Structure 1
Amino acid sequence: MIDATHATKRIAVGAIAAALAAGAAGCSADPAQTKPGAPGGQGAAAPKSAVHLIGDGSTAYTGLQPHLLKPLKLKPGERPPQFVVFSWDGAGEDSQQLFSHFRKVAKENNATMTYFLSGVYMLPEDKANLYTAPKHAPGRSDIGFNDLKGIKDTVTQLRAAWEEGNEIGTHFNGHYCGPDGGVGTWSVPEWKSEIAQAKSFVKNWKTNAGMKGEAPLPFDYDKELVGGRTPCLEGQKNFVKAAGELGWRYDTSGVNDQVWPKKNPNGIWDLSMQLVPIPGRGFETLSMDYNFYMNQSDAKAGDADQHEYWGNQMRDGLLQAFDRSYDGNRAPLIIGNHFESWNGGTYMRAIEDTIKAVCGKRDVHCVSFRQLADWLDAQDPAVLAKFGMLKVGEAPKGGWAALEAAQPAAPAKPVAPLKPAAPQPGIKQAAAH
């Protein structure tokens, strides 16, 4: 099983019993789908004869990923769709079965998501010494490792998730935060080492876990892996440099307002976490379960009588964020989560309520980061630059056609890596996981 709390010391896997912590315009879908904009346009599942095992058979090429929206360039003056990205840090299946649960929720609500897998969740405890985190001794991880059942269950979910059109990204490995050897202290070469190890654990899980008879993951991870989120949102500056050199497509480790994304100087999309309202309070926090948990009960078990209220507060904050984007600048809404049970699971309910409330709306596409990057790359950069002129919640005066017809926007300045928004009074966002 896998560590639930991102503790600051290595936890033996045998002692871990808690949960994991840690449509329409602009897209084209399979005409056979009954709901406009439903996932399904970019290739059907490959026939069995197309399966080509890679390496030890832990992964395989199985053809184009099914159930993806095909990105289309906006027509002149066309209003952009509303994208929403739901993502999960440290994705893995444990006894709570939240991975499988939210796969089901996604399918029922015409959504695809991004699952950021922690590489050590594919590594059994008895092979812990295969992992050497930068600035740490071999065999250490702040979130432990896994057992054979946990690996098998996680692989089952990863396999099905990808076949349903979801993205498998990375949350890297040992989840080291803080000044003492944390990811914020790592150099570009050290980030490359961490990335190479995360990929290796996925590409060799059969050998490491002794499960040669199991079915492979149905993707080539060298090609599948194009983005991630750093632990605690630390270390972005050097990670983004490493990611750019590796040809990755996006990063989601920063902090931003609900505005249109830009590419950073390293040539990858800055799809940062966003500041969203906390209803009834005079400040905003990051669009992540952990930050609501931190602001409501200092990231500790809180009063059970408050659980329902806190979950409603998170849900309503996310819905307010959605509404101001949907009715305003149409900037993609970025939401991050963990598979967790904090404060009685109230944040998991809040996320499920949000998915059900927004993903079926007209012109809304709940997609993975990779699909969002595909759509952004298909657009005219000059048009995106004009979208980027709109402030949070600001609809274009005179409509979208008028915005496009306006004077050309000044060339967009690249987003400097790791320039988080200054904390507002009372905000607790530094501890974001």
Structure 2
Amino acid sequence: MGLRQRWGWLTTAVALALAVVVVIVMGQGTGSGGTTPAGATTTTNPGPITPAGQATPAAGPTPTLPAPTGAQPAWMHKLKPGEKPPQFILFSFDGGASKDHWSRVLPIAERTGAKVTAMLSGLYLIPDSEKNSYTGPGHPNGASEIGFGGSDADIKLRVDYLNRALDDGMEFGTHYNGHFCQGAEPSVGFWSTAGWNSELDQFFSYLKEIDGKGLRITPDMIKGGRTPCLEGNWDQLFPSMKSHGFVYDTSHVSFGVTWPTVDRGLWEFPLPEVRVPALDKNVVMMDFNFWYLLDGAKEGDDARGPEFTPIVLDTYRSVYQTVFNGNRAPLVIANHFNDWAGGAFSGAVEQFMSETCGKPETVCASYSQVIQWMQLQDPATLDALRSLPAAHN
């Protein structure tokens, strides 16, 4: 059982002025894809904020995906003049390998028509007995902050439920492998393009290996991902992502909810910083960030789950209503398959999915679906949407 560090942006308001962000997110994981909390610490990372005196990175060419085939939902069309876009909601789950959580999410998705995206951690695809096949950039063989995939029986079971998720139309991206965040040096924030190439080559090798054991998720299906702890030198990472066929990333942070933009040749879907109405404080909308804001991510606080769930759920509802009535930008909700604080955050996201994904003009979609929808629109239409002010609840 290895450590899983979970960092994420807590707030960006100060960063917008200083071009430096304090990030506070951490946790632990198991080879079966579950999570339990560890201590918390801090680091700094300029992330998507462009420091003063530096040029904004060039957008680069707009990446594309093949047009969807077969029967498509009614919302997958070019907007008519004056027509509002659907309110897209992008649910994504880092790790992506917990049977218990899939068993709750998939029935909700089936009932509401929702599609979600799992950011697979590559080491959950290989058994513990093969851990020495992994070498994180700058780290010894078999080192990992999140453990590995458990027993051969665990892997066999995982193949079954991941195949079911795939059959139900869920998307899979990457959360890379060893989860080396700041403090586990050399951390991902300092990796070169060659290091990222090694990490992704190994991720795809594990995917191919488990494909041989019956998994039907193939390398060509992986079109994007989220970095560990939202860290990384994007100038080094993005060339590696592009060379591996990716078209999107979802590791940056925006102040409020904004439309995706093209950054260095990849679609960037940022996690929004939002207001928590119950506390009148801002937080980046990821489950661990909520937990840290609520009580410092204290272990042994399971009894506070019933207190935390409504606070998070109320935040989701507030942000959704603001965006729906505002710029209609895709709402990125980033979570983990975890049971922090007695499952408070899983409970909140599952209830929000259940009550929202079936609402009129609302589409709970995968990243690739939103990209395919954007490809149908006139460039001028997308430019107009991106020019709208960020939505702040």
Q: TM-score range by the shorter chain?
A: 0.7 to 0.9
Mapped contact 1:73–1:379 kept (Cα < 8 A): yes
* Matching of residue 271 in structure 1 with residue 272 in structure 2: no
| C-alpha deviation, 1:249, in angstroms | 1.0
- Residue 94 (structure 2) aligned to one of 74, 77, 89: 89
Which residue of structure 1 aligns with residue 40 of structure 2? none
1:134 and 2:137 equivalent?
A: yes
> Which residue is equivalent to 1:354?
352
Q: Give the CA RMSD over aligned residues.
A: 2.6
Identity of aligned residues (%): 35
Q: Establish whether residue 375 from structure 1 lines up as the match of residue 373 from structure 2.
A: yes
Matches within 5 A, 1:285-304: 285-301=283-299, 303-304=301-302
1:341-399 Cα distance to aligned partner (Å, 9 max, x none): 111111111001110221111111101111111112222221111111211338xxxxx
Tell me whether 1:234 sits opposite 2:231 in the alignment. yes
Aligned partner of 1:43 in structure 2 is 70
Instruction: Name the counterpart of 2:102.
Output: 99
Unaligned runs of 5+ in 1: 23-40, 45-66, 395-433
8 Å Cα contact 1:20/1:90 also seen in 2 = no
In the alignment, which of 197, 200, 203 is matched to residue 195 of structure 1? 200
Matches within 5 A, 1:11-410: 19-20=34-35, 42-43=69-70, 71-94=76-99, 97-146=100-149, 147-179=151-183, 180-205=185-210, 211=213, 216-221=214-219, 223-237=220-234, 238-256=236-254, 257-264=256-263, 266-301=264-299, 303-304=301-302, 306-393=304-391
Query: Take 1:360 and 1:297, find their aligned partners in 2: how far apart are those partners?
Result: 33
Q: Is the 8 A contact 1:109 1:356 kept in 2?
A: yes
Aligned to 2:24: none
Give CA-to-partner distance per residue, 1:160-218, whole Å, 9 cap, x none.
Answer: 111111101111111110052111110111111101111110111266xxx5xxxx233
| Bigger Rg over Cα | 1
Q: Secondary structure at the match of 2:335?
A: strand
SS at match of 2:283: strand
1:261–1:160: structure 2 CA closer, same or farther, 3 Å change rule?
same
Q: Distance in 1 between matches of 2:226 and 2:6?
A: 18
- Say which is worse superposed, 272-281 or 160-169, in terms of deviation: 272-281
Distance 1:139 1:3 in 2: 11
Q: Is the 8 A contact 2:32 2:124 kept in 1?
A: no
CA distance in 2, matches of 1:119, 1:325: 34
Mapped contact 2:207–2:217 kept (Cα < 8 A):
no
SS at 2:35 equivalent = coil
**For 1:250 and 1:135, how far apart are their aligned partners in 2?**
26
Q: Which moved more, 1:278-287 or 1:76-85?
A: 278-287
Q: How many residues align?
A: 339
Q: Distance in 2 between matches of 1:346 and 1:271?
A: 25
Give the Cα separation in 1 of the matches to 2:3 and 2:309: 19
Q: Which has the higher contact order (CA 8 A, sep 6+)?
A: 2
Instruction: Structure 2: give runs of 5+ residues left out of the alignment.
Output: 8-27, 38-67
Q: Structure 2 vs 1, CA of residues 71 and 281 (structure 1 numbering), >3 Å: closer, same or farther?
A: same
SS at match of 1:375: helix
For the structure 1 residues 7 and 291, does the alpha-carbon distance in structure 2 shift closer, same or farther, using more than 3 Å as the test? closer
Range with bigger deviation, 274-283 or 83-92: 274-283
Relative to structure 1, the CA distance from residue 92 to residue 305 in structure 2 (aligned partners, 3 Å threshold; closer, same or farther) is closer
Which amino acid in structure 2 is aligned with residue 328 of structure 1?
A: G
Q: Relative to structure 2, which stretch is displaced further, 244-253 or 125-134?
A: 244-253
TM-score (norm 2): 0.80
Secondary structure of 1:176's counterpart equals coil
Cα 1:313/1:168, change in 2 over 3 Å: same
CA distance in 1, matches of 2:32, 2:209: 25
Q: Is contact 2:93-2:119 (8 Å) kept? A: yes
Q: What is the distance in 2 between the residues matched to 1:269 and 1:231?
A: 18
Return the offset for 1:139.
1.1
- TM (norm. structure 1) is 0.73
